[in-house]
Chains A and B, each alone.
Chain A
């Protein structure tokens, strides 16, 4: 039997009208407004909150609300959501709220934290953090990292450490400090020691030193024992060690017969291999996060510029073409950018990033002293660098878009050559 099929002629036959389309890109990032309520309980809670406030401010993730603007009465509010009048926190612009209560038991300080989502009047995070009285800053760093992970699903870097070079009466010494510049501990003594580089796992540092009286060569120091041993002695000098992300090899620069090249060595020792063979100077290697390429500086085209090459020295690509003196490349943990310092037409060094794919150069610092030696935080959300903007060279942090510069060190004679350490192992 044949059937007559009836079509709904109207369905879908009308031609869709054509509408114009535009693209809007380049979102600005706005720090998340957060209120840190005054800590209740022992006065040590206030000290912890002060450290937490500085961590949050430096991160650029949060905009701290001024406690003088708070409408809520801390004496009437408890720690649980049902005791908090969130409308009073909304009224001052808070999107997130941190509450804390501290107590001291013997030499141990314990702080109970709660993190709230103010618009939804919901608790996001809670926990009790404890530490010896001498290490209460770590309480703030640990909770701060948990807050960052709670929002971004990425690790925070408040518990990481930064190595740098301290100017002293007796030369330049390698120092390791917390990520906020506190707790600085000198790990070398005597001679001139430069360019610290974190070895895998963060338990030791490689550095360049003149300590053996035969020019600059590479050494390593165990951070627990302070024991120093030679890492590489080669040619006229060997400098600028950088370790591969997988931790099994390192690159460095060495000069032989008046020619400086990048070399590659297994970390356990063995046969070293020369990666560059140009007549120019090739220095300052920095690994890509996938360990497949190295960024470096070469003057093979007449002026120092940033290049990249494959790990076997092949496929060399010039990355920077603007300016006539670009140096100190640092490949970002996300792999998209290389930070470097470059000299502008006023002969002042400033920080820049170059997009590895597009070649676009973005300036991060300007008209604020000399700014050099960028090093990325392991989560790629901050950089540390040295700057003369307040006088002597000190360490500062900055966000990858050039905003939120914050001073980190207050070294009497100056600080430089910062290297941001790896994330702490769980």
Chain B
């Protein structure tokens, strides 16, 4: 009678158990693990929609030269900064308390027509005059655009200001679309500030508005980005959400 001797069998986990086939438990686990990692890497960004931006710039507006306005008073009419050729940083002239006295002669129909055509020839979108009582800060800038100070990233503030200056939409689009449509454009900015390319990642759905946005980008001259932002805005771009 022959006695059976215990026998050591060296079996690789990868090799599997011949009794269950070559695919061992370890390999199954390894594949499942990898599949989980890959699936997570693939699907997670979609669940999270998009990664949070590295920085959400707070737009800085130049503070206008003027006097802070009492918030209890009625607001002044919003007005654009005076043109660059205007007298710099002069003390604003006080206007008369009431300007109700105007020219007493009534305009004729012919004069009204001529005025309409003259207005058309000027081609301005608004008939705004510089407001000598414009609200601001006594240490502000004559070219300022805000009545009070806001802290923020200066470069992105300048980008926003310059794009805004060209952000013009035609009047003939419907009010509903003008007030509610928005679009997103990514611009890629070269080291010299030039917009090397742009991609409309979310069109507005209105061709008038989309054309106006492309035109705004083409017309905008940007300053050169600071060194710490240059690579980012050149390679990854700057996402601009155009809102009503």
B-binding residues in A (CB < 8 A): 2, 4-5, 7, 9, 11-13, 15-33, 50, 53-54, 57-58, 60-66, 95, 151-154, 321-323, 334, 336, 342-348, 350, 352, 361-370, 379-381, 388-392, 394, 401-407, 410
Contact = CB atoms under 8 A, between A and B. Distances in A.
Interface of B: 21, 23, 31, 34-35, 38, 41-42, 45, 50-57, 59, 71-78, 95, 97-109, 112-113, 116-117, 119-121, 123, 125-129, 131, 156, 159-160, 163-164, 167-175, 178-179, 186, 212, 229, 232-233, 235-244
A363 B74 contact: yes
17 contacts: A12-B41, A12-B42, A20-B57, A27-B242, A28-B126, A54-B116, A60-B171, A61-B171, A64-B117, A66-B117, A154-B175, A361-B74, A367-B131, A391-B106, A401-B126, A406-B116, A410-B108
A20 B55 contact: yes
Contacts, number: 240
Given A7-B35, A366-B76, A402-B77, A66 B120 contact: yes
A366 B172 contact: no
Nearest to B112: A407
B42 A152 contact: no
A24 B38 contact: no
Contacts of A368: 99, 102
Q: Which of A50, A363, A367 has the most CB of B within 10 A?
A: A367
Contacts of A53: 113, 116-117
A363 B21 contact: no
Contact of A66 (B38, B95, B121, B175): B121
Given A27-B167, A53-B113, A152-B174, A362 B102 contact: no
A7 B172 CA distance: 53
A363 B41 contact: no
B100 A352 contact: no
B77 A366 contact: yes
Contact of B169 (A27, A33, A380): A27
Contact of B171 (A31, A153, A321): A31
B23 A2 contact: yes
A28 B125 contact: yes
A32 B172 contact: yes
Contacts of B120: 57, 63-66
A367 B99 CA distance: 6
A284 to B, nearest CB: 18
A121 B211 CA distance: 17
Given A348-B100, A366-B76, 4 more contacts: A61-B172, A62-B171, A364-B77, A391-B106
Contact of A7 (B34, B105, B108, B171): B34
Given A20-B56, A20-B238, A26-B164, A13 B77 contact: no
